[in-house]
Amino acid sequence: MAQKSRLPASYEVLVLAVLLLPCLVTGVELAINNSSDNQILSTKPGREESLWCTVRNNSRAEELRWYRDSGTVNVKDGNKINTTNICILPVSKTDNGVSFTCKLVRDESIQISVTLDVQFPPLLTGVDPPPVEEKNDVKLTCNVNSNPQAEMAWYKDNSNLTLKKDRYQIYHTSEVFQLTIKKVEKSDNGTYTCEAKSVLGEMRKEFHLTVEDRKPVFPLEAIIAATVVVVLTVTFGIVARREKILKVTKASMNQKTS
Ligand SMILES: *[C@@H]1O[C@H](CO)[C@@H](O)[C@H](O)[C@H]1NC(C)=O
Ligand SMILES: *[C@@H]1O[C@H](CO)[C@@H](O)[C@H](O)[C@H]1NC(C)=O
Ligand SMILES: *[C@@H]1O[C@H](CO)[C@@H](O)[C@H](O)[C@H]1NC(C)=O
Ligand SMILES: *[C@@H]1O[C@H](CO)[C@@H](O)[C@H](O)[C@H]1NC(C)=O
Ligand SMILES: *[C@@H]1O[C@H](CO)[C@@H](O)[C@H](O)[C@H]1NC(C)=O
Ligand SMILES: *[C@@H]1O[C@H](CO)[C@@H](O)[C@H](O)[C@H]1NC(C)=O
């Protein structure tokens, strides 16, 4: 009896699944501004960009949802069914690399994205290093913000920095262009220029390096040894004097009692 009732039940599930499958996602696709491929949108800070997402080949009303990277974007109620648009106003530098994705609410695996490529000329920032003593190392850190990436160079007092000198080290990432000078010499004192060039423009930033005379150094061990000697001398001095003082008082007391 138990077997008989189980069989029709699983048949029902199977039939239901077969009936449901075709109406899930067949043929439905999304497009942004008439393109059904993921896109990269080149733009500039301050611009306004509007994106229209539309469902295609749908047999019924479909709700759409926008994401800014992984976070949902709130849109008005009348801007969700079959077609939805968002406006990025204004585009900012921080939008660079951000993806706007339109998804079918009923099945979020159906989606399409536009990734922003926000292009702007190089911007350099940084602060002068504190004055550095001769023989110490120093870092000049030039922060770079540029898209596309800029070509970078260091100059000293407006002439090319000879990078053959093994005291110079360059550390270069997409965000930082850093010059390290090992064991600075008096002749390293001066003005250094960080330069960035891209197709959209160029910028220079000056860094002033002040090299100071080396201050005389006392080795720590010598200081400790000297301190110990002084402390011991003083301590022994007091102990010796105290014994003397005690003897004197004892002697005078003895005199009084006798
Ligand atoms: C959408 O429908 C058109 C014809 O109506 C068809 O050519 C196209 O292949 C369909 N797209 C998808 C993704 O099924
Ligand atoms: C999509 O293409 C049609 C016909 O080419 C055009 O009328 C419509 O404005 C386009 N829509 C968008 C959002 O670009
Ligand atoms: C998308 O289409 C709309 C309407 O045609 C247009 O105003 C907008 O500039 C388009 N956006 C992009 C990124 O092409
Ligand atoms: C959305 O599209 C479907 C299929 O074409 C249609 O039946 C429905 O009326 C549309 N709904 C809206 C609000 O446009
Ligand atoms: C600096 O070096 C670059 C490339 O090595 C060269 O093109 C340029 O002429 C040099 N500039 C000066 C001022 O020496
Ligand atoms: C060291 O460099 C600083 C900043 O570039 C400059 O003002 C100063 O005159 C220089 N000092 C010497 C001794 O060259």
- Give the CATH number, domain containing residue 197: 2.60.40.10
Measure 103 CA to ligand 3 centroid, in angstroms.
18
191 Cβ below 6 A of ligand 6:
yes
Mean pLDDT across 139-167: 87
| Ligand 2 centroid distance, CA of 88 (Å) | 19
CB of 94 closer than 6 angstroms to any ligand 5 atom? no
Token reading at 149: 């990436």
pTM exceeding the 0.85 threshold for the entire prediction: no
Asked if the structure places residue 187 within a domain, the reply is: yes
Least confident segment among 3-12, 114-123, 153-162, 241-250: 3-12
Give residue 48's domain range. Answer: 27-118
Task: Name the band, by pLDDT with cuts 50, 70 and 90, for residue 1.
Answer: very low
pLDDT for position 78: 95
Residue 87 or 23, more confident: 87
pLDDT digits (tens, 9 = 90+) for 190-248: 999 999 999 999 999 999 999 999 887 666 767 777 777 666 776 666 666 666 655 65
| Whether residue 73 sits in one domain with residue 44 | yes
For residues 127 and 112, state if they share a domain.
no
Asked if 67 and 100 count as a contact pair (C-beta separation under 8 A), the reply is yes
In a domain, 170, yes or no: yes
Indicate if 145 and 162 belong to the same structural domain. Answer: yes
Q: Is the CB of 29 under 6 A from ligand 1?
A: yes
Q: What type of residue is 9? A: A
Same domain, 141 and 203: yes
59 Cβ inside 6 Å of ligand 1: no
Residue 112 and residue 131 in one domain: no
Whether 156 maps to a domain, the answer reads yes
Say how far apart CA 211 and CA 234 lie, in whole Å.
42
Q: Is 5 in the pocket of ligand 1 (CB under 6 A)?
A: no
Write out pLDDT tens, residues 25-74.
678 999 999 999 999 999 999 999 999 999 999 999 999 999 999 999 99
Rounded Cα distance, 172 and 170, in Å: 6
Domain boundary among the residues 60, 85, 118 is at 118
Q: Is residue 246 part of a domain?
A: no
Confidence of residue 23 (pLDDT cuts 50, 70, 90): very low
Terminal C-alpha separation, the chain: 127
Residue 209 Cα to ligand 6 middle (Å):
7
- State the Cα–Cα distance between residues 46 and 49, nearest whole angstrom: 10
Which pLDDT score is estimated for 91?
A: 97
Residue 185 has pLDDT above 80, yes or no: yes
Q: Are residues 67 and 87 in the same domain?
A: yes
* Proximal ligand: closest to the CA of 157: 6
| Ligand found nearest the CA of 83 | 4
Higher pLDDT, 147 or 221: 147
Which range among 123-132, 174-183, 242-251 shows the weakest confidence by mean pLDDT? 242-251
- Asked whether 210 lines ligand 6 (CB < 6 A), one says yes
Q: Name the domain boundary from 64, 98, 118.
A: 118
